[in-house]
Structures are given as structure tokens and as C-alpha cells.
Amino acid sequence: MEQDKEYEVTSMPRIGDAAPEFKAVTTQGDINFPADYKGSWVILFSHPADFTPVCTSEFMTFASMEEKFAEANCKLVGLSIDGLYSHIAWLRTIKEKIEYKGMKNIEVNFPLIEDITMDVAKKYGMIQPNEDTTKAVRAVFFIDPKGIIRTIIYYPLSLGRNFDELYRVIIALQAADEFDVATPADWRPGDDVIVGPAGSCGTAKDRMEDGDIDCKDWFFCTKKLDKDMVLDRVLRKK
């Protein structure tokens, strides 16, 4: 029985799985997830607790970047296992009292899920018993417009997230889908992209001779992808 309980707490969906469904109360009203977000990318993220300093810095950063994510057709949904009134009081305190890295009077307009039963946190494996049994770790789920989980990033309680990376992931995932390519290490719009491995010797030979594709060897080929084209297709495509 104890083993079953532990599995329920620590299990988590995988990349390529449909995002687990749930209904929840949030600071922006009730939501039916992911059905309410069909057609949009979503970052679903958890934080350990309200009224904590690292979480406060993260929420201010997310809120200040919300419009930037929205331009990339990406909506934000937060979660902690605190109650709704705690959420409301904390977000009000952030707006009225907290200044961080030049950010102040920050209003959080995206929904923050109440999850005092930990039902949603358990569905998404956000509770890691070896880290803490009563707080959600800093999990980040990138969910595509069809409701499929495309990327998962987990951070421990002590480590604040890198928001430039979270934004880069959203852009890179959409660019890979839009242009049928892969993105190499540290890729940013305007950098060369990876062309998938050739499926036959003939294709590999053709690629080696293609002036638009730079092949260092048959398995490592890149091509240029114009920055403006990426931004036009990703940031302006709703």
C-alpha cells in the first residue's frame, strides 16, 4: 500500500504524452485544462509556496514577460499547493510592495491554480518526496496546441529558473515544427539549424553536393534559416 502511494506521488507524464486533464479553481476563475487552451502553446509551471522569495522573483519575471510569451502564442499557467486566498494575498503583495531588478508594480494576470489537495501536482509528478513531501518542485511543462507535452524541465526548490531559456524553448519548438528541422546547442533565431539524417546513401550524397546545405559529414548537416523568417512564422502566426 505504501509503495502504491509513493508511486502516485512521484509518477509523471512523459514527453509525447497527452497532458493530463484536470479542472481547477484559479486566481483568474475556473479552468478546464488543457481543453480551454486548445490552439495555444502553454507553459504549465509549479512553484513551492506563496510568500517565498525565489518564487516571488520568478512570478515577477514571468508576469513581466507575459506579453512576450503571448506574441509567441504561448499562455502561462502557474500552480502551487496553497489555497486561493493565499494566492490572492501574495499576488497583491507583489504588486504593492515588491521591487526586484527594476521590476515594480507588477500585476500577475495569468492564472495561478489552487491545489491544496495536491491532485494536479500528483498528476504531473510535481511532488518529489526526496526534495519535499509538502511542496511542489519548480516543474515546467511545455504543452503544444494539440495538448501534447513537448518538453519538461525540473528544478529543485533552491534553484530559480532561467527565463531566457524558457522563452528560447518555446521559439525553438515552434521553429522545429514549422520548418521540419532540429535546433543545435544554444540555438537562437538566425542561427543555422540541423537537417535530419539522410534516409539513404543516395540522399546523403545529394546533400553533400547541395549548396544550400553544409555537411561536415553525412550525419552532420546544417542549413541557414533566416531570422526574420523564423520570427515572422513563429511570433506572428496565431
Residues labelled as active-site residues: 55
Residue type, 116: I
Q: Is the dihedral of CA 228, 231, 233, 238 positive or negative?
A: negative
On whether 188 is known to bind a ligand per the annotation, the reply is no
CATH architecture of 2-161: 3-Layer(aba) Sandwich (3.40)
Which CATH fold would you assign to the domain 180-235?
A: Antioxidant, Horf6; Chain A, domain 2 (3.30.1020)
Whole-angstrom distance, CA of residue 27 vs CA of residue 31: 10
What is the Cα–Cα distance from 122 to 103, expressed in whole angstroms?
A: 33
CA angle 105, 71, 20 (to 5 degrees): 90
C-alpha cell at 28: 483568474
The burial of 99, by beta-carbon neighbours within 10 Å (0-12 exposed, 13-18 middle, 19 or more buried), is given as: exposed
User: Which residue intervals of the chain bear CATH 3.40.30.10?
Assistant: 2-161
- The whole-number mean pLDDT for each consecutive block of 10 residues of the chain, a chain of 238 residues, reads 47 92 97 97 96 96 97 96 96 97 96 95 89 85 98 94 97 95 96 79 61 82 92 78
Helix boundaries (H) for 98-181: 119-123, 163-179
Q: Environment class of residue 180 by beta-carbon count within 10 Å: exposed (0-12), middle (13-18) or buried (19+)?
A: exposed
Question: Which residues make up the CATH 3.30.1020.10 domain(s) of the chain?
Answer: 180-235
Backbone angles phi and psi of 45, in degrees to 5: -135, 150
Strand partners, 151: 142
Residue 10: CA atoms inside 13 Å, Cβ hemisphere, count?
12
Contact 145, 173 (CB under 8 A): no
